[in-house]
């Protein structure tokens, strides 16, 4: 039985392809062969090729291993670091509820 193919939304697929291209460019700038990077990351060359193409079927740990070999592992920590929308939602819940002004007593 074959493994089911992972499908992504087109925008997400474009992001993965861009990440793969960035990884490939980083490897080429360092003048490392695909064989060297694959060996150091403890993955196969076809897996590295899939990563550089932005394949969704490759596990995130393999992406991280390659980034480590290229010295880019700190970039991984930037993922979802600045959650602007989440912070706004959190801040909205922290605001006190507005109350109507007190009605003056009739006896005063």
Residues 24-43: tens digit of each pLDDT: 999 999 999 999 999 999 99
pTM across the whole model: 0.74
Q: What are the residue ranges spanned by the domains of the chain? A: 10-93
In the chain, beta strands by DSSP E: none
Q: For domain 10-93, which architecture applies?
A: Orthogonal Bundle (1.10)
Q: Tens digit of pLDDT for each residue in 48-72? A: 999 999 999 999 999 999 999 999 9
Position 93 pLDDT exceeds 80: no
**Buried (b) or exposed (e) across 64-97, using 16+ Cβ within 10 A?**
ebbbebbeeeeeeeeeeeeeeeeeeeeeeeeeee
CB-based contact 47:60 (threshold 8 Å): no
């Amino acid at each position: 039985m074959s493994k089911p193919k992972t499908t992504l939304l087109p925008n997400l697929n474009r992001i993965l392809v861009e990440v793969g291209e960035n990884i490939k460019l980083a490897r080429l700038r360092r003048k490392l062969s695909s064989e060297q990077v694959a060996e150091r990351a403890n993955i196969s060359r076809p897996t590295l090729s899939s990563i550089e193409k932005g394949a969704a079927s490759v596990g995130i740990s393999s992406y991280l291993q390659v980034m480590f070999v290229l010295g880019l592992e700190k970039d991984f920590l930037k993922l979802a670091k600045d959650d602007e929308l989440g912070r706004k939602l959190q801040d909205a819940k922290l605001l006190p509820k507005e109350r109507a002004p007190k009605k003056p007593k009739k006896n005063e």
